[in-house]
């Protein structure tokens, strides 16, 4: 029988409920329990797949090919385990399934309503995750902010969940405590209001977590406690820290693990304090050798657009003692102003990340060419492998019109073209090549050196692929195929033979990288940057 911890948010969004939920999961794991986390997203999209990265940040892809909210990435990284499609529930999914059931007549003529039908559907999905995972703790993060209209069915569903079995559920509410400079004060009124809002719908939080720029002092904790109906030690302060990975340790200093366990009448199973996680967090401050990387892409305005990628790069950097500084360079600027943006020994490496659509492509091609001709370490991910192939075809093989079907379908030389399985696909949602595929690695390649194995399994999210008609010419001129998907003979990785590190991969290695298991390609790439001398 699982215990349930429901995490809600108040006052405003982007407070870090995902990091808090993931950190709580980490704490409970380290106290000897099994944990899973699921995210409820109240938006009406069925999944995150067709959402614009500018608006929502990156789309995270699970091993089983679901396109999910980026919080799933936090969960996987903190828990050091992989989650599944069922760990992300959206309003779109639950409405869709209720309406489909209604059309099939499954409600036997009853009026179909938000309560109990929609809330019932939500509850059954939570139960399904508990049953499938058999986890001791199921942490459920409710997206959005208390008071949002679209979040109400989810809050009602978790209230019903608790009401049915109060001994096995608790609530943690994350709020914002603003700091007022003019009076040098932390203001708790918004927190009081937001907990008031929760209580109005029948939810009494067990823990109140105060986010803010500053630590909440003891007297303020007592005030929040009084107004919110919790003991003072159940008010947790969570100011901004230098790394999100330090949040579990910070929460443990306030005995959050103990508070959660004792509210279920439980005790920790282990007393280890120097856990692998704690030891990992020490490496963050020990990374001293500075290196500078340019990510040349199109989604540079929003930090979250390359979230997993930045995390993976840091995992690789911390594992190798590198203090990595990442600059986001707009590929359109490179297109307009040229490679001088990358010039003058500013960077120790260039990375072109995944992306869709034509805008800024020529800038990415220039960046790949710059890395190739300047012996600068290069990692091309998905689109980044595709642009590197186009650049190589144009400038090494002298195929002037080389392009991708995505950007110039009329080109005579489509180095990158639509996968046969994608021809005729009309629907946008959930129709790409998604999820994990096992690749065979070419012996003696850099990819093999990085993975130290003869196969690799990484996640995918793309429609286009390398055109095998050009394979021999590429290989004859020093661009080696480093990994393939043997079932369909798809090129999954290309690398330059005579270059310190120039690797393109069709998959997304950033999605599986975790602090306790850094992605091998990121470790190898950072090592190449460390070896690079300006
Ligand atoms: N747009 C390219 C494709 O669909 C690359 C996708 C990506 O980078 N994720 O193949």
Domain boundary among 227, 262, 279: 279
Split into its structural domains, the chain has a count of 2
| Interatomic CA distance for residues 8 and 20, integer angstroms | 10
148 is in an annotated binding site: yes
Residue nearest to atom 3 of ligand 1 (CA): 462
Exposure b/e, 447-460, CB count within 10 A at least 16 = b: bbebbeeeebebbb
Does residue 354's CB lie within 6 angstroms of at least one atom of ligand 1? yes
DSSP 8-state assignment for residue 514 = B
Atom of ligand 1 nearest to the CA of 357: 1
Phi, psi of 429 (to 5 degrees): -75, 125
Q: Which two tokens stand for residue 325?
A: 């500084």
> Pocket of ligand 1, candidates 383, 384, 390, 414: which has the most ligand atoms within 8 Å of its Cβ, to mutate?
383
Together in a domain, 265 and 350: no
Residue 356 near ligand 1, beta carbon < 6 Å:
yes
pLDDT for position 272: 85
434 lines ligand 1 (CB under 6 A): no
Q: Whose CA is nearest to atom 5 of ligand 1?
A: 383
The verdict on 256 and 370 lying in the same domain is no
CA pair distance 168, 161, nearest whole angstrom: 9
Are the C-beta atoms of residues 482 and 443 closer than 8 Å to each other? no
Which residues in the chain land under pLDDT 50?
A: none
Q: What is the CATH number of the domain that holds 103?
A: 3.40.50.300
44 and 146 share a domain?
yes
**Whether residue 429 is found in the same domain as residue 457:** yes
**Are residues 317 and 204 part of one domain?**
no
Degrees, nearest 5: CA angle 302-307-311: 140
Q: Is 191 annotated as a binding residue?
A: yes
Task: Compute the distance between CA of residue 478 and CA of residue 502 in angstroms, rounded to an integer.
Answer: 11
Tell me, what CATH number does 504's domain have? 3.40.50.880
* Domain extent at residue 110: 3-279
**494 and 373, same structural domain?**
yes
How much is the pLDDT for 344?
A: 65
Same domain, 237 and 304: no
Question: Which DSSP symbol is given to 408?
Answer: -
Q: Does 227 sit in the ligand 1 pocket, CB within 6 Å?
A: no
H or E element at residue 9: strand 3-9
Do 333 and 185 belong to one domain? no
Look at residues 279, 311, 335 and tell me which one is the last residue of a structural domain.
Answer: 279
**C-alpha to C-alpha distances, 4 to 126, 140, 168, 179, 257, nearest whole angstrom:** 9, 7, 6, 32, 14
- How far apart are alpha carbons 87 and 334 in whole angstroms? 39
Residues noted as catalytic? 382, 508, 510
pLDDT value, residue 533: 78
pLDDT at 197: 93
Q: Is 384 assigned to a binding site?
A: yes
Which residue's CA is minimally distant from atom 8 of ligand 1?
Answer: 354
CA dist 316 and 272 (Å) reads: 26
Ligand 1 atom having least distance to the Cα of 381: 8
Task: Give bridge partners of residue 458 from the DSSP assignment.
Answer: 437
Query: Is 464 touching ligand 1 by the criterion CB < 6 Å?
Result: yes
* Residue 406 beta carbon below 6 angstroms from any ligand 1 atom: yes
The answer to whether residues 342 and 403 belong to one domain is yes
Q: Is 183 annotated as a binding residue?
A: no
User: Distance (Å, rounded) from C-alpha 286 to C-alpha 182?
Assistant: 37
Question: Which of 61, 365, 406, 510, when mutated, tests ligand 1's pocket best, judged by the most ligand atoms within 8 Å of its CB?
Answer: 406
* Residue 364 annotated as part of some ligand binding site: no
Whose C-alpha lies nearest to ligand 1, atom 6?
A: 462
Q: Is the CB of 461 under 6 A from ligand 1?
A: yes
Domain boundary pick from 222, 246, 279 = 279
What's the pLDDT at 343? 83
Are 32 and 159 found together in one domain?
A: yes
């Amino acid at each position: 029988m699982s215990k349930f911890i429901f995490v809600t948010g108040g006052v405003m969004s982007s407070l870090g409920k995902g990091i808090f939920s993931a950190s709580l999961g980490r704490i409970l794991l380290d106290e000897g329990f099994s944990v899973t986390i699921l995210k409820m997203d109240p938006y009406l999209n069925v999944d995150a797949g067709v959402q614009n990265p500018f608006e929502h940040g990156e789309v995270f892809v699970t091993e089983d090919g679901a396109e999910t909210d980026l919080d799933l990435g936090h969960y996987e990284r903190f828990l050091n385990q992989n989650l599944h499609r069922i760990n992300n529930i959206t309003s779109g999914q639950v409405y869709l399934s209720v309406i489909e059931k209604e059309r099939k007549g499954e409600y036997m003529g009853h009026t179909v309503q938000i309560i109990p039908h929609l809330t019932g559907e939500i509850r059954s999905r939570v139960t399904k995750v508990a049953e499938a995972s058999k986890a001791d703790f199921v942490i459920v993060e409710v997206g959005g902010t208390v008071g949002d209209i679209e979040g109400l069915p989810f809050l009602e569903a978790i209230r019903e969940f608790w009401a049915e079995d109060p001994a096995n559920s608790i609530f943690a509410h994350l709020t914002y405590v603003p700091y007022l400079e003019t009076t040098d004060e932390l203001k708790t009124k918004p927190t009081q209001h937001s907990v008031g809002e929760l209580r109005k719908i029948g939810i009494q939080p067990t823990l109140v977590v105060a986010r803010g720029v500053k630590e909440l002092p003891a007297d303020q904790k007592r005030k929040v406690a009084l107004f919110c109906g919790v003991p003072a030690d159940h008010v947790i302060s969570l100011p901004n820290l230098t790394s999100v990975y330090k949040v579990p340790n910070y929460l443990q200093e306030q005995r959050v693990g103990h508070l959660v366990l004792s509210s279920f009448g439980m005790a920790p199973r282990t007393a280890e304090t120097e856990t692998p996680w704690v030891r990992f967090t020490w490496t963050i401050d020990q990374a001293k050798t500075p290196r500078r990387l340019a990510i040349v892409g199109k989604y540079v305005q929003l930090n979250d657009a390359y979230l997993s990628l930045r995390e993976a790069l840091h995992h690789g950097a911390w594992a190798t003692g590198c203090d990595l500084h990442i600059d986001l360079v707009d590929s359109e600027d490179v297109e307009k102003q040229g490679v001088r943006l990358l010039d003058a020994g500013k960077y120790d490496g260039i990375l072109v990340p995944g992306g869709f659509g034509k805008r800024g492509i020529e800038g990415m091609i220039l960046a790949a060419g710059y890395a190739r001709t300047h012996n600068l370490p290069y990692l091309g991910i998905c689109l980044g492998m595709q642009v590197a192939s186009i650049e190589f075809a144009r400038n090494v093989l002298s195929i002037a019109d080389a392009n991708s079907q995505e950007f110039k379908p009329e080109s005579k030389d489509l180095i990158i073209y639509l996968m046969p399985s994608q021809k005729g696909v009309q629907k946008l949602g959930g129709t790409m090549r998604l999820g994990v595929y096992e690749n065979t690695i070419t012996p003696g390649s850099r990819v093999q050196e990085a993975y130290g194995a003869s196969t690799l399994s990484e996640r995918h999210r793309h429609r286009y692929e390398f055109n095998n008609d050009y394979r021999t010419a590429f290989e004859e001129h020093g661009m080696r195929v480093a990994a393939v998907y043997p079932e369909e003979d798809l090129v999954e990785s290309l690398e330059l033979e005579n270059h310190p590190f120039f690797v393109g991969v069709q998959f997304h290695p950033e999605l599986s990288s975790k602090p306790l298991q850094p992605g091998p390609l990121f470790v190898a790439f950072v090592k190449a940057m460390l070896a690079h001398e300006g």
